[in-house]
Amino acid sequence: MRSLGWFVFLLGLVRGFAAAEEPSLPCVPRDFGFGSVACVCNATYCDTLPPPTLPAVGEALVFTSDIEGARFLRTQLSFSDSQNGTGSDVARFALESTAFQTVIGWGGAFTDAAARNILDLSPDAQDRLLSSYFSPSGLEYNLGRVNMGGCDFSWRTYTYADAEGDVELSTFALQPEDTDYKIPVIKRAEALAGRPLKLFASPWTAPKWMKTNNDYVGYGQLRHDMYQPWADYFVRFLDEYAAQGITYWGLTAQNEPIDGYVPGFFFNCMGWTAEEQRKWVAENLGPTLLQHGYGDVKLMILDDQRYELPGWAEDVLNDPEAAQYVSGIGVHWYGDLYTVPERLTQTHDLFPDYFILGTEACEGATPLEVDVALGKWERLESYAHDIIVDMNHWVTGWVDWNLALDMQGGPNWAENFVDAPIIVNKEADEFYKNPMFYAMGHFSKFVKKGATKLGLTSEDPKKLDATAFRNPDGSTAVVILNRSTKTMETIVETEDRGSLRLSVGPRSLQTIVFVT
């Protein structure tokens, strides 16, 4: 394992000052025995990456993270007219000006668990963690997902109206999980970001008394006579958060609606078919949001696996009464290994006016996996590969699951423990940045909200995973993932700047930034 001690620290300072920028602070690595390193942060120190100054025309900045321990390691290269390079270990890409979808952004989820873990740290460590995600010296996330009521990453089961039969929602009230945890953390994140976040909320379940099985979990759906009270519940949620100074950019109609049709499903859920969701959106939720001044809130359907596409979208969006209230389609990643990404393209081609957004992903979610694996490089590769594939098939952004979990991968009342990009060790007042954190940053830091996906063709796309974007400031970002154990000599050919030749090392992720 390469040493990243004082030498790299001084090197980072020199690079920062040489570019007349705020210097970046390097990772303090710790090996937990999972093949690579996690970066250690505490109340007094955390690695950073301030916004880089764009290189001169004809030059490119390259940021590299790899299995050996590099994290956003910066180098600079020059374009040339030469396109030489052949052989089995040469990958050639042609960057095209063809424009595809516009990027909405990148982010993670302010779950109950994430908020509590963040607040379990000392105030200075809390700020360093939130800065790592949201500030200009961090990943610059602009999206945030919030659970509407309890989810599995809560420490108890609850909704906002648990009083039996309260169809008027007279007892509706935000809970301590909101007022004491999520809302303060969201406000601090927005303050550190220096701008409002695009927040969207997702419900896991209605109150038990609104459901066919009178339970938070298991095989159960919303009773048809509760369609309107459940729509009113959404409005009350938006109203109560607005009273706390937080506004929402979007909503999903239901988290993983298929779960509530699975007998014995073990955490918060509520089942919907696409036809049921269509009817409820058309007749209840859509009109109710519009009537109460929330017609501009971006409503997303599905919020489940892409194997439900394009059928789910067809069932809902082919009804103009429902489609008029819908802005986008949310997709989760858990079924991606079993479903071709072309379903995303098919969905876009059928409904080009509706965005597709990745709304949840995490590692450690299957029974045979280790829940928390600090420093496991393969989890970076899974994230980066999935993001690249999604973005190459019309997805407009990618939102990770919990922003921070504890050393067990919780808290989670259902013991559905998983991994996260940041793991909190409250006893040591430390937090650890997993490789997944840097996977997210190779996109969120360099591919800005409003960027345009560009065409990027390859003679042999199986050699490397890659995708490219044009940012609103005119810069171009190319992200390349090498999952092999070979160094790949790589040539990126542009239409107007010549070619860029670089070595993409084994088990590495690179982002190339240049001005065209």
Question: Annotated catalytic sites, by residue?
Answer: 256, 360
- Picking from 64, 90, 98, the residue whose alpha carbon sits closest to that of residue 491 is 90
For the residues of 417-438, what is the DSSP string, one character each? ----SEEEETTTTEEEE-HHHH
Structure tokens at 90: 């040469």
Give CA–CA dist 138/122, Å, rounded: 19
- Evaluate whether 159 touches 173 at the Cβ level (below 8 Å): no
Give CA–CA dist 489/504, Å, rounded: 6
Give CA–CA dist 95/456, Å, rounded: 5
Give CA–CA dist 383/400, Å, rounded: 9
Amino acid present at 336 = D
Give Dmax (Cα) for the chain: 74
Structure tokens at 516: 């065209």
- Residues 98-135 as b/e (b if ≥16 CB within 10 A, e otherwise) read eebbebbbbbbbbbbbbbbbbbbbeeebbbbbbbbbbb
- Picking from 269, 279, 270, 349, the residue whose alpha carbon sits closest to that of residue 309 is 349
- Phi/psi region, residue 231 (left: phi>0; alpha: psi -120 to 50; beta: rest), is alpha
What is the helix (H) or strand (E) element at residue 447, kind and residue range?
none
Please state the φ and ψ torsions of residue 504, each to the nearest 5 degrees: -100, 105
- Residues 332-362 as b/e (b if ≥16 CB within 10 A, e otherwise) read bbbebeeeebebbbbbbeebeebbbbbbbbb
Q: Hey, how many other C-beta atoms are within 10 angstroms of the C-beta on 275?
A: 12
Q: How many CA atoms lie within 13 A of 386 on its CB side?
A: 30
H-helix segments, 89-226: 112-119, 123-134, 176, 183-193
| Partners of 143 in the β-ladder | 107, 198
- Evaluate whether 170 touches 160 at the Cβ level (below 8 Å): no
Structure tokens at 19: 């570019």
Beta carbons within 8 Å of 359's beta carbon, 6+ residues apart: 145, 200, 202, 252, 300, 303, 330, 331, 332, 399
Q: Is the dihedral of CA 135, 137, 142, 145 positive or negative?
A: negative
Q: Hey, how many other C-beta atoms are within 10 angstroms of the C-beta on 91?
A: 22
- Picking from 335, 374, 380, the residue whose alpha carbon sits closest to that of residue 483 is 380
